[in-house]
Amino acid sequence: MSLEEELQSNVSVASSSPTKNTAGGGGLKVHNYFGLSDSSSVESSTLSGRVEDDKATISLKATELTLGLPGSQSTELDLLSPAKLNEKPFFPLLPSKDEICSSSSHKNIVASGNKRGFSDTMYTEKNWMFPESVAAQSVVKKEVPQNIPKGQLSTTNNSSSPPAAKAQIVGWPPVRSYRKNTLATTCKNSDEVDGKPGSAALFVKVSMDGAPYLRKVDLRSYTNYGELSSALEKMFTTFTLGHCGSNGAPGKDMLNETKLKDLLNGKDYVLTYEDKDGDWMLVGDVPWEMFIDVCKKLKIMKGCDAIGLAAAPRAIEKSKMRA
Amino acid sequence: MDLRLPSKVLEHIFSFVDSNEDRNSVSLVCKSWFETERLTRKRVFVRNCYAVTPAAVARRFPEMRSLTLKGKPHFADYNLVPDGWGGYAWPWIEAMAEKSPALEELRLKRMVVTDECLEKIAASFKEFKALVLTSCEGFSTDGLAAIAVACRNLRELELRECIVEDLGGDWLSYFPETLTSLVSLDFSCLDSEVKLSDLELLVSRSPNLKSLKLNRDVSLDALGSLLRLAPQLVELGTGSFSDKLDQEAVSKLSQAFTELKELKSLSGLWDVLPEYIPLLYSVCPGLTSLNLSYATVQMPDLVELLSRCSNLQKLWVMDLIEDKGLEAVASSCKELRELRVFPSGADVDETNVALTEQGLVSVSEACPNLESVLYFCAQFTNEALVTIARNRPNLKCVRLCVMEPFAPDHKTQQPLDEGFKAIVEGCKGLQRLSVSGLLTDKAFEYIGTHGKKLRMLSIAFAGDSDLMLHHLLSGCESLNKLEIRDCPFGDTALLENAAKLETMRSLWMSSCGVSFGACKLLSQKMPKLNVEVIDEHPLKTRPDSSPVEKIYIYRTLAGPRLDMPEFVWTIHKNPEIGVSNLAIE
């Protein structure tokens, strides 16, 4: 018996091989990871094709902020429930182990198609860009993938619960922590205690609900909130257009004239930021200088999503504590 | 008739045998060669600190003057090895202090080094000359002070990407005024400010100083004055390159750079502002090594700089260089041997999309000496890999990281099997390979068939079944280190090829499908291996069929280690556990 034949007959004996989904008998059927059998290259190309088509939908959904556990249904209800609102940080949250194993986890595979087979429930131990906020963020070790039912990929459609946050895989990409940390401080070196002269840029990420990718802005290139909001409005106009259209809001021309702040006041979008403590606060309540000192990330949220975010009194309280 | 050469003659002959691999071969010839070799070996490399005991090493090599040790598995670099796993330097230092007090050099990689260790070194080795710590952790600047104050003949003190508890910059001032032997100083990974005057004094009394790598905190101004004190430098790591300087200061700094006639290697350049890049032009033609991997410089400025580096052999850069920049490298840097392109962003979304497979293809076409590549990229194609293999059959190290797991060939949507096939088939001397992207078992069949010289292989998110592992373990004759994460194989191939594991240094597997039962079985059948099951969330009862989180298997003469934390299991902890019913005939 050749070694490979031996191997085939042994596969049916080994109880924990993930390829035990072989239909009937001792033949070794080559499955790709997702349990799809044979002509795997054809399958995967079809798969990827489908993924490509739905990529836009998926990635839009993927950046949607939800307060729910990753993989769970993102519902407005969750956001509004009082219990969750006081949790810090808003995302990502620490899912319990059981929930990781539940069917919600395999939806992550579904939604991200070919690409995230193993990446459900993974979090980095260090948040790449903002290592200081690691303490505030919960960390979950990756759950062993064997708990995930395979072959589910073809069944569910893509509109169901995408990954709530851009969940990161532990140790991927394979870049040394030293490098990650060093680069993080390269971008935000003026944040250091010993304070360099303010000539260096202060980049923060800006994300927006429904926008397919993040942008970065240099907070030091603005001197007040007005400048920041005009800049953001210019940056994200293309996205707001889409949304406003669907809400039956004023047409394109009017949109270009209104500043984002007015848009914000119009309750469509709210500009929020994550501060050094990992709390999400509304932008605009503290003095500008203090704001750029504490702001780690910006997010343009849907107004309804941001209900209960730290309103003015709390922000001012915090700033008093800092002073 | 006694045909043996007298040992004095043997000694003399062996004194010309430098490389450790050769010395290892020499020692296997016969007993007398073994004896003579061991008594003359000065530089000892222990590539897995748990493979052998410190006492055994000290006993075998009484004339040891230089010891190199490696601790944690390579994937520890990517946070896959939990804290507290091991890799402690203390037992080694303690043993050598007693048995090899003439030790002069200690080079440690991925080990836990405490202040206590550093103090012990300072106190025990009277002729201590060189301490090089790479990716180590566990010590503070106090430990450095101990070394500085006590080691009268110190030549090298290098901290490469270590995690150091930085209690301030005073440690530097502990170097006594009588210390004039310094050749190499690297404190680039430290955070806090050292006193410039101390540094200047140290540099000015070190006429042999060839390598100086400053930390970020050293300003441009300070750099200027240091360069003027040490124009003989061969290797320079600058500090932060972003202070605003007035015109006079700039021209003084420029002048200082032009005086660096011997400079071959340049690194640091954190935060470098584009307007300061021209300061470096004068040293470019002489550079053989340039590390821009922390310099957030955009492509046009990079092109300006690199087009002047005609003698460059080693280039580390970020993906900000883009394809266009790499084309410039291809046309200007004909001596290039090693290229590393690191990601500037944190994840796939932030990857610079202007860097594609084309960049690497260009370099492979034009740089005839290119041997070693590390390339992070958003996507790749089979065609590009085939072209690269055809262009550069002399590649020895190919580490390709397609940032998105399972990403197929972005033009054909096919797996990258054929591309990697071309690499292993074409590059017959390939020693190190990291694969990525969408890969089926076929890719590993190719690697097993053709990768005969492969020593180290890194795999993530690839393959379909046990066949992948089987191909590798049965095919790759020279395989020494294998590290695999998130691949869907189970126990079969591992158990089938158990004997192979004794011919390898180590095997790391995480988030694969290997069961606890298989680990037990392997441990029982292969007593010369340590099979470590690393599980930070073990189930209360571990059934044989339960998959394990992480496994680290390595051959060892030292038996079970005594410093295992809670979350590491080996069979030595529970010897009474019986064999499972997973017996493979």
Interface confidence, given as ipTM, is: 0.87
Q: Residue B165 has what pLDDT?
A: 92
In DSSP notation, A40-79 reads HHHHHHHHHHHHHHTHHHHHHHHT---SSPTTSPP-HHHH
* pLDDT bucket at B301, cuts 50 / 70 / 90: very high
Q: Residue B14 has what pLDDT?
A: 92
Q: What is the mean pLDDT of residues B193-218?
A: 95
* pLDDT bucket at A257, cuts 50 / 70 / 90: very low
Q: What is chain A's alpha carbon radius of gyration, rounded to the nearest angstrom?
A: 23
Statement: residue A41 has pLDDT above 60: no
Statement: residue A33 has pLDDT above 60: no
Q: Residue A315 has what pLDDT?
A: 52
Element (H or E) spanning B401, and its range? strand B397-402
Q: What is the mean pLDDT of residues A40-54?
A: 40
**A202 or A287: which leads in pLDDT:** A287
Report the C-alpha gap between B365 and B360 in whole angstroms.
9
- Considering only the beta carbons, identify the residue of A115, A124, A175 that sits closest to B343: A175
Q: What is the mean pLDDT of residues A95-99?
A: 37
Statement: residue A141 has pLDDT above 60: no
* pLDDT bucket at A265, cuts 50 / 70 / 90: low
Most A CBs within 10 A among B273, B347, B403, hence the mutation to make, goes to: B347
* pLDDT bucket at A220, cuts 50 / 70 / 90: confident
Statement: residue B543 has pLDDT above 80: yes
Statement: residue B394 has pLDDT above 90: yes
Statement: residue B579 has pLDDT above 70: no
Q: What is the mean pLDDT of residues A73-97?
A: 37
In DSSP notation, B141-184 reads HHHHHHHHHH-TT--EEEEES-EEE---BGGGGGS-TT-----E
Statement: residue B67 has pLDDT above 80: yes
Statement: residue B515 has pLDDT above 70: yes
How close A317 comes to chain B (CA, Å)? 33
Q: What letters, b where the CB count within 10 A reaches 16 and e where it falls short, cover A245-256? A: eeeebeeeeebe
**B213 or A293: which leads in pLDDT:** B213
**Is B517 an 8 Å CB contact of chain A?**
yes
Q: Do A10 and B465 touch (CB under 8 A)?
A: no
Statement: residue A187 has pLDDT above 90: no
Give contacts of B84 with chain A, Cβ < 8 Å.
none
**B332 or A69: which leads in pLDDT:** B332
What would the pLDDT profile of A142-153 be if each residue is shown by its tens digit? 333 333 333 333
Q: Which of residues 321-360 of B touch A (CB under 8 A)?
A: 342-344, 346-350
Q: What is the mean pLDDT of residues B294-311?
A: 94
Q: Residue B329 has what pLDDT?
A: 97
Element (H or E) spanning B130, and its range? strand B130-134
* pLDDT bucket at A132, cuts 50 / 70 / 90: very low
Q: Residue B338 has what pLDDT?
A: 98
Q: Residue B362 has what pLDDT?
A: 97
Give me B139's structure tokens: 């010590």
How close B245 comes to chain A (CA, Å)? 12
Please identify which residue in the block is written with the tokens 């709210």: A270
Contact A114, A51 (CB under 8 A): yes
Q: What is the mean pLDDT of residues B492-497?
A: 96
Q: Residue B507 has what pLDDT?
A: 98
Q: Residue A186 has what pLDDT?
A: 63
Statement: residue B17 has pLDDT above 80: yes
Q: What is the mean pLDDT of residues A59-77?
A: 44
How close A302 comes to chain B (CA, Å)? 22
Residue pairs between chains A and B whose CB atoms are closer than 8 Å = 198
Average per-residue pLDDT in chain B?
93
Q: Residue A123 has what pLDDT?
A: 35
Statement: residue B32 has pLDDT above 50: yes
Statement: residue B161 has pLDDT above 50: yes
Beta bridge partners of B131: B106, B157
Q: Residue A288 has what pLDDT?
A: 86
**Is B15 an 8 Å CB contact of chain A?**
no
Range in A7-21, B82-96, B132-146, B212-226 the model is least confident about: A7-21
Q: What is the mean pLDDT of residues A248-276?
A: 56
**A289 or B499: which leads in pLDDT:** B499
Most confident residue range from A111-125, A187-201, B505-519, B527-541: B505-519
Most confident residue range from A66-80, A184-198, B443-457: B443-457
Question: Beta-strand (E) ranges in chain A?
Answer: 203-208, 215-218, 269-274, 280-282, 297-302
Q: What is the mean pLDDT of residues B364-387?
A: 97
* pLDDT bucket at A98, cuts 50 / 70 / 90: very low
CA–centroid distance for B145 within its chain: 26
Q: How many residues in total does chain B contain?
A: 585
Q: Do A171 and B163 touch (CB under 8 A)?
A: no
* pLDDT bucket at B39, cuts 50 / 70 / 90: very high
Q: What is the mean pLDDT of residues B128-150?
A: 96
Q: Residue A230 has what pLDDT?
A: 81
Residue A267: count of CB within 10 angstroms of its CB: 11
Statement: residue A252 has pLDDT above 90: no
Statement: residue A109 has pLDDT above 90: no
Q: Residue B296 has what pLDDT?
A: 87
What would the pLDDT profile of A154-173 be if each residue is shown by its tens digit? 333 333 444 334 457 888 99
Statement: residue B313 has pLDDT above 60: yes
Quote the Cα angle for B568-A120-A188, to 5°.
85
- Strand pairing category for B130-134 and B156-160: parallel
CA–CA distance from A116 to each of A57, A111, B349, B486 (Å)?
16, 9, 14, 11
* pLDDT bucket at A318, cuts 50 / 70 / 90: low
Q: Do A179 and B293 touch (CB under 8 A)?
A: yes
* pLDDT bucket at A116, cuts 50 / 70 / 90: very low
Q: Which of residues 81-100 of B touch A (CB under 8 A)?
A: none
Tell me the percentage of chain A whose pLDDT exceeds 70: 24
Q: Do A178 and B189 touch (CB under 8 A)?
A: yes
Q: Residue A300 has what pLDDT?
A: 85
Q: What is the mean pLDDT of residues A64-88?
A: 41
Q: Residue B413 has what pLDDT?
A: 96
Q: What is the mean pLDDT of residues A9-21?
A: 41
Q: Residue B328 has what pLDDT?
A: 97
Most B CBs within 10 A among A124, A186, A199, hence the mutation to make, goes to: A186
**A108 or B347: which leads in pLDDT:** B347
* pLDDT bucket at A32, cuts 50 / 70 / 90: very low
